[in-house]
Amino acid sequence: MQIETSRLRLRRFLPCDIPDFAAYRSDGEVARYQNWDFPLPLASARRLVGEYSRRDPARPGWFPYAIELKEDASLIGDVAVNRHPGGLKAELGFSIARERQGCGYASEAVRGVLGELFTQGLRTAVAECDVRNTRSARLLEHLGFTYVRQHSVFVREKRERTQLSEFALPAERWAVLKGQ
């Protein structure tokens, strides 16, 4: 299940990730448009990492890949994949620690995961982000996703109603972009 890109290793979460995972999940900038409980105490990070490390990436449901920077083996974020039953559709989510943003790591990590999913027969990748999350929308569009629609949701963790933009990337478009 491990995915290698030029600078990154996408792998299962490990116990050594707990402090860095708790740190970026507790950063208000990273959490701003995510539906997380925030901040994330170390004990909760330990429980979550333990739970993530037992999940099977081939099964339906969310599987978070830890993003490890090869040069120093540090955890810099995660790409989470929610495979729908049947394996034809999957939703993606992503986070990068604030001090590691702006270096192309999210683009590289998400592209690596998409490559793996489409090779395994995925037909459509989808992603949603808060309409105010312009960095995330820009990233999705750079990767080839196209805007589908907007819908309104109540985010329990933030106690607010907000608009989400939905994006999609069909396998046919991925194949064209990959060939360019």
Q: Which stretch binds ligand COA (CB under 6 A): 39-47, 59-67, 91-99, 169-177?
A: 91-99
* Smaller CB separation from ligand COA, 124 or 165: 165
The CB-of-10 to ligand COA minimum distance in angstroms stands at 14
Q: Is 107 among the residues that bind ligand COA (CB under 6 A)?
A: yes
Q: How many angstroms from the chain centroid is the CA of residue 94?
A: 2
CA distance 128 to 41: 26
User: Would you count residue 132 as binding ligand COA (CB under 6 A)?
Assistant: no
Beta carbon of residue 78, minimum distance to ligand COA (angstroms, whole number)? 9
Distance in angstroms (rounded) separating the CA atoms of residues 41 and 117: 32
Tell whether residue 106 is a contact of ligand COA (CB under 6 A): yes
Q: Is omega for the bond preceding 39 within 30 degrees of 0, making it cis? A: yes
139 belongs to the binding site for ligand COA (CB under 6 A): yes
The residue within the footprint of ligand COA, chosen from 63, 105, 167, 174 (CB under 6 A), is: 105
The full DSSP string for 105-141 is HHHHHHHHHHHHHHHTT--EEEEEEETT-HHHHHHHH
22 near ligand COA (CB under 6 A): no
